[in-house]
């Protein structure tokens, strides 16, 4: 009986979608040649696909509901449980390290290049995770700092001939400076007001880069940005790629280390507390504004460093690389991966950047699939692929009892 | 901090006042034309911004896919109008049918999008719903691009050049005056709907307190659906009107228009309907003056700059309530 009802429901949904998509899927008008093209086959496909999709969708939705009722809230994701287990952690990290070490030598250059982009996004994601995941500030203009880093390298190199290794720390400082500058006037705003203002800043920086010809060379961009050197020595194209790969891997490791240490530091705990309850936090004597500003500025630092690596890798930048869609992609990395969890962000970056690259085979449909996947992941896993786990301080009751006994 | 704000505010007002008076005295006609252009622009923003602000007021979600609903409205109107045009129907009938179809289909899309992408996320973290909305926006853009065409399509205006309007046509075209008048009518109807009808009262109640509204017997899910439908309808009207005005559309028009309308809604104080209208008019008119007197390539920069300045002075927008946080 239940099955029968489901089929009936799915049929109704399929019919609804057939009506809904009729003008756009079926009719195609050519206003120049004055012809109308009716593509009835599409209607059939829409019907069939939505029928099965709605069956699957409803099934999983029901299963999700049932699971939610069963489970208590301490479901720690598998990967966290495994990583907490010492016997598993060492070999696992060993395998991961070996994989990343061998990667550029095993796979051809094309794959190395894609992996570099993915790793840059890991860096950006971890940086944005400080702002969005830990401090709870919705930043839709993160790409502005990425652009600052990329243009800092391109311009400083063009005018002063500064090398990658000189610019990298400089750009980190510059990113922090920009973070403070942009953060200062707007961090008093709350929630979505902050989101739209940061989005505005991102767009402002892009439009200025696009129109201020004498400064940034406008929409033509800057070409011939040199790759990083190894103590003044240039590699050939192939080796450069591998070299950059290892630089990025190193930077990612550094980022993971820093973010991990920050998260459990005094300031990291202040961020999390601020995200969860601002008023309680202020009552505990935490300077709300200063704490937010630190998060914003530190996030900007990683973005700027990511920008430098990006410029060095592509050797050509123009404002089109820094549109709002870039900010949105980075935000998706953080949210789909799992807000506040470093492993989640890494997984999110690898999935979100590698997937569209390998979907190039169906290149026309890849953004369609990408959009649909975002909706699907969020509907079925609203906390992200790997959700964050709060650090739990275990408190040994027995020990305390003994301690008390000896003192009395 | 306070005196910085005050002196900054005075400086801004002084500069604006000086330029206004100077330009008004130099070329009153041009000044007036820019004003009307801004009014048209602001009216379109207002039609789209209403959907944003209503949805935000009820479920606190930035509905990123709203711009796409507007685009689908314009697209449907284009398709319907061209098919009927080729069948040789009367132009007046075509115009009416195109409007009707655009509105009906936009409403249906708005309804469906809410059911698929937002309803399952009602109790999820707010950012998840935002990402879902962004995904929906990407999906709809690409869906229209693949099913139709990535190129710009010429859009033949559905609004004729009225005979009786000819004496004024050099100041403001009949399309523009139609846009302004339609917007005023839509606003009045919407105001009446929100204020006096059953569903309007239910919407206001739900926006205030969802749980309490549900306890009083309001079907919250239906009210949310109704909000999406009403918002989509106004967006569709805006979409068709702007397409008549600009004369071409493609799959991507929804994004920028949506963004601007969202800025307008925030400017006015998001969640407030009069705020959205006021914010849209402020944004439209000031943009029109800025592009008329200064640089047109920095138009968007200017829009965001206004937003930042206004939010510094009024952190919840022009008409937004400054809600104190409670523990």
Write out pLDDT tens, residues A244-301: 899 999 999 999 898 888 888 899 889 988 888 888 888 888 888 899 999 999 999 9
Give contacts of A 213-272 with B, CB under 8 A. Answer: none
Å from B168 to nearest chain A CA? 31
- What pLDDT shows up at residue A282? 85
A278 phi and psi angles, rounded to 5 deg: -65, -45
- What pLDDT shows up at residue B327? 47
- What pLDDT shows up at residue B23? 76
Question: Would the CB atoms of A200 and B315 count as touching at under 8 Å?
Answer: no
Give contacts of B 55-84 with A, CB under 8 A. Answer: 56, 60, 62, 72, 75-76, 78-80, 82-83
A192 contacts on B by Cβ (under 8 Å): 56, 60, 62, 266, 270
B76 contacts on A by Cβ (under 8 Å): 23-24
Mean pLDDT, rounded, for B74-83: 90
Give the span between the Cα atoms of A289 and A277, in whole angstroms.
Answer: 14
Give the span between the Cα atoms of A244 and A112, in whole angstroms.
Answer: 10
Question: Would the CB atoms of A375 and B117 count as touching at under 8 Å?
Answer: yes
Over the stretch B136-148, which tens digit does the pLDDT of each residue have? 998 999 999 988 8
Neighbours of A149 (CB within 10 A): 29
H runs (alpha helix) in chain B: 2-26, 28-59, 66-86, 91-113, 126-147, 174-196, 198-208, 210-215, 220-246, 253-268, 273-293, 299-313
Q: Which of B73, B81, B134, B247 to mutate to test the interface with A (most CBs of A within 10 A)?
A: B134
Give the span between the Cα atoms of B92 and B110, in whole angstroms.
Answer: 27
Collapsed DSSP state (helix, strand, coil) of residue A40:
helix
Find all residues with CB under 8 Å of B282, minimum gap 6, and list them: B42, B264, B267, B268, B306, B318
Collapsed DSSP state (helix, strand, coil) of residue A398:
helix
Over the stretch B259-308, which tens digit does the pLDDT of each residue have? 889 889 888 888 888 889 999 999 999 888 888 887 777 888 888 888 88
Q: Which of A200, A319, A387 to mutate to test the interface with B (most CBs of B within 10 A)?
A: A200
Domain A107-380 sits in CATH at 1.10.3470
Give the span between the Cα atoms of B128 and A383, in whole angstroms.
Answer: 7
Å from A308 to nearest chain B CA? 25
Q: Which of B147, B154, B258, B323 to mutate to test the interface with A (most CBs of A within 10 A)?
A: B147
A19 contacts on B by Cβ (under 8 Å): 108
Q: Chain-centre distance of CA A388, in angstroms?
A: 15
Question: Would the CB atoms of A372 and B135 count as touching at under 8 Å?
Answer: yes
Is the CB of residue B289 less than 8 Å from the CB of residue B34?
yes
What are the DSSP calls for B258-305, one per residue? HHHHHHHHHHH-TT-HHHHHHHHHHHHHHHHHHHHHS-STTHHHHHHH
Give the span between the Cα atoms of B72 and B2, in whole angstroms.
Answer: 47
Q: List the single residue in A23, A186, A383 with the smallest CB-CB distance to B125.
A: A383
Collapsed DSSP state (helix, strand, coil) of residue A27:
strand
Over the stretch A291-335, which tens digit does the pLDDT of each residue have? 999 999 999 999 999 999 999 888 888 888 888 888 888 888 888
Q: List the single residue in A189, A278, A382 with the smallest CB-CB distance to B325.
A: A278
Question: Would the CB atoms of B135 and A375 count as touching at under 8 Å?
Answer: yes
A63 in contact with B, Cβ within 8 Å: no
Query: To the nearest whole percent, how much of chain A has pLDDT over 70?
Result: 92
Which tokens hold the place of A84?
A: 């907490």
Q: What topology is assigned to B2-313 in CATH?
A: ABC transporter involved in vitamin B12 uptake, BtuC (1.10.3470)
pLDDT over 70 (residue A396): no
| Structural domain boundaries in chain A | 2-70, 107-380
Mean pLDDT for chain B? 86
ipTM reported for the complex, 2 dp: 0.84
Which tokens hold the place of B20?
A: 């206004």
Give the span between the Cα atoms of A128 and A335, in whole angstroms.
Answer: 10
Over the stretch B2-31, which tens digit does the pLDDT of each residue have? 787 788 778 878 888 887 788 777 777 888
Find all residues with CB under 8 Å of B291, minimum gap 6, and list them: B299
pLDDT over 80 (residue A220): yes
- What pLDDT shows up at residue A174? 93
Find all residues with CB under 8 Å of A350, minimum gap 6, and list them: A118, A122
- Angle (CA) B67-B70-B71 rounded to 5° is 90
Which tokens hold the place of B215?
A: 């306890």
Mean pLDDT, rounded, for A176-182: 91
Question: Would the CB atoms of B154 and A189 count as touching at under 8 Å?
Answer: no
Question: Would the CB atoms of B112 and A16 count as touching at under 8 Å?
Answer: yes
Mean pLDDT for chain A? 84
pLDDT over 60 (residue B59): yes
Is the CB of residue A378 less than 8 Å from the CB of residue B121?
yes
Å from B263 to nearest chain A CA? 7
- DSSP 8-state code for residue A345: H
Mean pLDDT, rounded, for A157-176: 89
Which tokens hold the place of B107?
A: 């409403």
Q: Is residue A305 within a helix (H) or strand (E), and if so which, with residue range?
A: helix A288-314
- Angle (CA) B221-B226-B228 rounded to 5° is 100
Q: Grade residue A408 by pLDDT with cuts at 50, 70 and 90.
A: low
Q: Which is more confidently placed, B39 or B157?
A: B39
- What pLDDT shows up at residue B324? 53
Neighbours of B181 (CB within 10 A): 11
């Amino acid at each position: 009986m239940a099955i029968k009802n489901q089929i009936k429901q799915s049929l109704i949904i399929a019919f609804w979608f057939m009506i809904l998509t009729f003008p756009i899927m079926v009719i195609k008008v050519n206003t120049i040649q004055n012809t109308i093209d009716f593509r009835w086959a599409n209607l059939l496909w829409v019907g069939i696909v939505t029928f099965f999709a709605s069956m699957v969708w409803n099934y999983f939705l029901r299963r999700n509901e049932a699971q939610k009722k069963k489970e208590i809230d301490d479901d720690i994701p598998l990967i966290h449980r495994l990583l907490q287990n010492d016997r598993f952690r060492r070999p696992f990290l060993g395998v991961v390290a070996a994989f990343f070490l061998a990667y550029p030598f095993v796979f051809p250059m094309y794959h190395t290049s894609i992996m570099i982009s993915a790793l840059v996004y890991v860096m950006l994601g971890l940086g944005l995770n400080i702002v969005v995941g830990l401090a709870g500030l919705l930043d839709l203009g993160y790409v502005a700092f990425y652009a600052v880093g990329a243009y800092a390298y391109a311009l400083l190199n063009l005018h002063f001939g500064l090398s990658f290794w000189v610019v990298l720390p400089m750009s980190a400082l510059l990113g922090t400076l920009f973070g403070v500058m942009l953060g200062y006037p707007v961090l008093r705003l709350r929630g979505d007001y902050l989101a739209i203002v940061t989005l505005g800043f991102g767009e402002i920086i892009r439009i200025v880069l696009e129109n201020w010809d004498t400064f940034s060379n406008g929409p033509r961009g800057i070409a011939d940005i040199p790759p990083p050197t190894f103590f003044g020595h240039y590699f050939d194209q192939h080796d450069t790629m591998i070299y950059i790969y290892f630089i990025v891997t190193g930077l990612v490791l550094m980022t993971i280390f820093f973010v991990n240490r920050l998260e459990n530091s005094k300031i990291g705990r202040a961020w999390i507390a601020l995200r969860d309850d601002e008023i309680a936090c202020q009552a505990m004597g935490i300077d709300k504004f200063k704490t937010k500003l630190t998060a914003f500025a530190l996030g900007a630092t990683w973005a700027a460093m990511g920008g430098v690596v990006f410029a060095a890798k592509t050797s050509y930048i123009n404002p089109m690389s820094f549109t709002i869609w870039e900010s949105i992609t980075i935000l998706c990395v953080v949210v789909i991966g799992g807000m506040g969890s470093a492993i989640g962000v890494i997984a999110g970056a690898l999935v979100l950047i590698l997937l569209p690259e390998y979907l190039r085979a169906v290149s026309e449909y890849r953004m369609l699939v990408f959009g649909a996947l975002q909706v699907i992941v969020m509907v079925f896993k609203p906390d992200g692929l790997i959700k964050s786990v709060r650090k739990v301080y275990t408190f040994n009751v027995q020990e305390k009892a003994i301690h008390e006994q000896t003192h009395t | 901090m306070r005196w910085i704000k005050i002196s900054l505010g005075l400086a801004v007002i002084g500069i604006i006042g000086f330029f206004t008076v100077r330009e008004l005295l130099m070329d009153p006609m041009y000044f007036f034309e820019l004003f009307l252009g801004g009014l048209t622009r602001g009216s379109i923003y207002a039609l789209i911004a209403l959907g944003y602000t209503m949805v935000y007021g009820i479920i606190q979600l930035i509905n990123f896919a709203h711009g796409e609903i507007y685009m689908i409205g314009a697209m449907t109107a284009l398709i319907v109008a061209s098919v009927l045009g080729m069948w040789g129907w009367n132009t007046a009938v075509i115009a009416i049918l195109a409007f009707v179809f655009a509105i009906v289909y936009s409403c249906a899309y708005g309804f469906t999008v809410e059911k698929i992408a937002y309803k399952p996320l009602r109790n999820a973290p707010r950012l998840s719903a935002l990402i879902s909305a962004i995904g929906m926006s990407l999906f709809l853009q690409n869906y229209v691009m693949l099913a139709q065409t990535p190129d710009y399509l010429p859009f033949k205006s559905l609004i004729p050049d009225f005979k009786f309007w000819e004496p004024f046509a050099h100041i403001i075209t009949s399309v523009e005056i139609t846009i302004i008048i339609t917007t005023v009518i839509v606003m009045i109807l919407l105001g009446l709907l929100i204020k006096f009808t059953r569903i309007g009262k239910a919407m206001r109640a739900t926006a205030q307190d969802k749980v309490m509204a549900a306890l009083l017997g309001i079907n919250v899910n239906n009210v949310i659906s109704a909000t999406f439908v009403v918002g989509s309808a106004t967006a569709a009207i805006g979409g068709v009107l702007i397409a008549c005005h600009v004369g071409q559309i493609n799959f991507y028009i929804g994004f920028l228009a949506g963004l601007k309308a969202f800025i307008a809604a925030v400017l006015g104080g998001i969640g407030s309907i009069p705020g959205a209208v006021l914010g849209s008019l402020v944004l439209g008119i000031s943009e029109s003056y800025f592009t008329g007197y200064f640089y047109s390539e920095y138009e968007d920069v200017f829009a965001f700059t206004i937003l930042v300045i206004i939010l510094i002075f009024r952190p919840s927008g022009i008409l937004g309530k400054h809600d104190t946080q409670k523990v």
